[in-house]
Chain A
Amino acid sequence: MTTPVIPKLLTDSSKSTITNRPVTKVRPPQGLAPLDFHELWAYRELLYFLVWRDVKVRYKQTAIGVTWAVLQPFITMVVFSIVFGQLMQVSTGETPYPVFAYVALLPWTFFASAISRSGNSLVYDANLISKVYFPRVIIPLAAVLSNLVDFGVAFTILIGMLLLFGIVPSISILTLPFFLLLALMTALAIGLWLSALNVKYRDVNYAIPFLIQVWLFLTPVAYPTTVVQEHWRFLYSLNPMVGVVEGFRWALLGQQNLSWDLMLFSILIVLALFAGGLFYFRRMEFEFADVV
């Protein structure tokens, strides 16, 4: 019944070149198709343009523009330093509290804005989804990636702070890209879940700010992990952002020893979340254009 997919080689009379015409097969959804990386690669330019659009649009018609990318983590750092550093006297070892907080705020701000944006991304781009075909994963992926620019801008402040406090990172700073990748994967995993859910349940819209708020308390941004009692540690480290923040502190400040067990555990959790998110996303993908 189905004709085999043989790429047809034809001579185009007008151009007299041999063209290889792709055959697009339109079929009813048949179970779960694995993510087509070839196709994803073919659409890399669209991914690039969507990231570029998000970055361009973000600070259009704002008075201070990209300064916002710095201002958000910076002001949070100042408030944390006053409340936790001064008033509550949270102990951070030999690291000055502002640096301690800012190093964690960098991946945290990235993560928070990435899940917020990617969670709303499919609904925001509903118009694209209902009019043009492309691998849908590109949309939440672009929403996550576009936050890297803000991360980069905010990172420059950290360099200034390290200089100011005379902190010289050790060789472990070379592992930083890995932890950034872990943060990115975490954000993408959550983003896949939230964006696909959001297509069907707009409740996600309202849940996201709340989720971020609760998640912040469960992540050692304002306080060190040592505050958490030993018997709660396992439960606590189910949160992959614990691994990310610990990793950032270790890579940049090299203060305490990094628990590699915890790290491995975080990676596994992220991979599981990611696989689950992708699975759910792919399963819901067929309905997006009809439901969104």
Chain B
Amino acid sequence: MSEAAIQVRNLGKRYRIGGPREAYGTLRDTISSAAMAPLNWLRNRNLNARLQEFWALRDVSFEVQRGEVLGIIGRNGAGKSTLLKILARVTYPTIGEADVCGRVGSLLEVGTGFHPELTGRENIFLNGAVLGMRKAEIQRKFDEIVDFAEIERFLDTPVKRYSSGMYMRLAFAVAAHLEPEILIVDEVLAVGDAAFQKKCLGKMGNATKDGRTVLFVSHNLLAVENLCNWAIYLEGGKIIKRGEPGEVISAYLRNSLSISTERSWNAKEVEQNTEAVHLQHVRVRPADECDRGSITIHTPFSLEFDYWNSDPTARITVCFSLYNQHDILLFNIGPPVESASKGKPSPNGLLRTICHIPGDFLNDGLHRVELTILRNDVPVINESHALTFNVQDSLQEREDWYGDWPGAIRPNLKWESNLILIPEDQNHSP
């Protein structure tokens, strides 16, 4: 059975920015601009130039079938939230249209309508009503919500005295008990500690299993990959790619993370270079090329550095530093002492140095290679952004938790556990 729950056709939203009709007009401005109107009319061109139009969303069309989960990814300002706001009818499109078939619940934020002066109990009712629940429905689910939020003891305390964790838990608990046919969710999974996140995602997973239609914006790519049937990637208000989540995510990562897994220096540059040593080509090469060229945490891969040497008497040493996305130096490495070329002059010609990096070693995320080439122990080449590549996480070990995996590296180590002592009292028992 396939039936459209959401149909979006050529949706667009235009904002005016920078012009005289800036968001906060004052009466004085309006009065003075009314007085100046004839003058402005004369310098009309000038006025229009200042009034800039900005399309937050343009020509967006898609269709979501009943029971499907659609993930929407993209950078900040790509139009993701604008799209959700239009579908939730918080704001209006400038052009285009959308039909949403079924009862809609939108969670553009958790805790919308919470009042700091009201108690937890009171806010459950208020927030529930704001999200579109009936009073009877809230009463029926009340105990479940309180259980979920783990705040029984503070039920009659004003929420302004809550810790931010408690506040978010309560807010999410109410939201999680919303049961519309179509759920529109904007980045709400980033709340609470790991345990609570796990619970929330479990709840989201259940919602999708119940055959609910979900539209889901998130920066958490793992969650998108695991929860969604398909995904769209927005950039500059347009859909850049749509399809299977894994592919869309790869496209997003390639476009947005300024990844450069391969870099060449063109012949002219190389020719003009009068240095004795110069770079020609560097690249990241996964051991298993067929896997769309992407590297997961399990993929062994190698870093290849091709360079010219014109001085056969020089000793050339290639070494590099690997940084993770927090710019933490993971390691700095050069060829080991026992390697054949160590300490000997390098032949002239095009040389290739390869470093093999095993799978199950790096953590997921963006990595940067800083390359240094030494000639007779003097650094002659230093490329701080020689290569940038992304190590993708693998869903296999993650059960239903999608937070950051802590640690700089994620090695696969050998584990053992054995029984080494039996309690004495058990020895004597029959």
Contacts and interface: CB of A to CB of B under 8 A. Distances in A.
B99 A24 contact: yes
Contacts of A127: 112-113
Query: Per DSSP, are chain A's interface residues mostly helix, strand or loop, or mixed?
Result: mixed
Given A26-B97, A26-B99, A203-B26, A289 B91 contact: yes
B419 interface: no
Interface residues of B, number: 51
A85 B129 CA distance: 49
Contacts of A130: 85, 90
Interface stretch (A52-60, A152-160, A210-218, A235-243): A52-60
A48 B15 CA distance: 34
Interface stretch (B115-123, B218-226, B376-384): B115-123
Nearest to A25: B99
Interface string A251-292: 000000000000000000000000000000000001001110
Nearest to A61: B117
A56 B134 contact: no
B98 interface: yes
Given A128-B112, A201-B30, A29 B24 contact: no
Contacts of B89: 24, 26, 133
Q: Determine which residue in B92, B102, B106, B126 has the highest number of CB atoms from chain A within 10 A of its CB, and name it.
A: B92
Given A49-B125, A201-B25, A202-B24, A133 B106 contact: yes
Nearest to B28: A203
A233 interface: no
A137 B333 CA distance: 67
Interface residues of A, number: 41
Contact of A290 (B88, B91, B117): B91
Contacts of B104: 24
A131 interface: yes
Interface in A17-61: 21-29, 45-46, 48-49, 52-53, 56-57, 60-61
Contacts of B117: 56-57, 60-61
B35 to A, nearest CB: 16
B83 to A, nearest CB: 11
A14 B211 contact: yes
A51 B1 CA distance: 44
A57 B88 CA distance: 28
Contacts of A200: 24-25
B118 A202 contact: no
Contacts of B131: 132
B93 A49 contact: no
B103 interface: yes
A28 B93 contact: yes
Nearest to A24: B100
A289 B97 contact: no
B37 interface: no
Contacts of B100: 23-24, 26
A45 B130 contact: no
A129 interface: yes
A28 B92 contact: yes
A208 B255 CA distance: 52
A3 interface: yes
Given A21-B181, A26-B86, A57-B117, A128 B99 contact: no
Interface of A: 2-3, 8, 10, 13-14, 21-29, 45-46, 48-49, 52-53, 56-57, 60-61, 127-134, 200-203, 286, 289-291
24 contacts: A13-B1, A21-B103, A23-B99, A24-B104, A26-B92, A26-B100, A27-B97, A45-B134, A48-B129, A49-B126, A53-B115, A53-B118, A53-B122, A56-B118, A61-B117, A131-B90, A131-B109, A132-B108, A132-B130, A133-B90, A134-B132, A203-B26, A289-B90, A290-B15
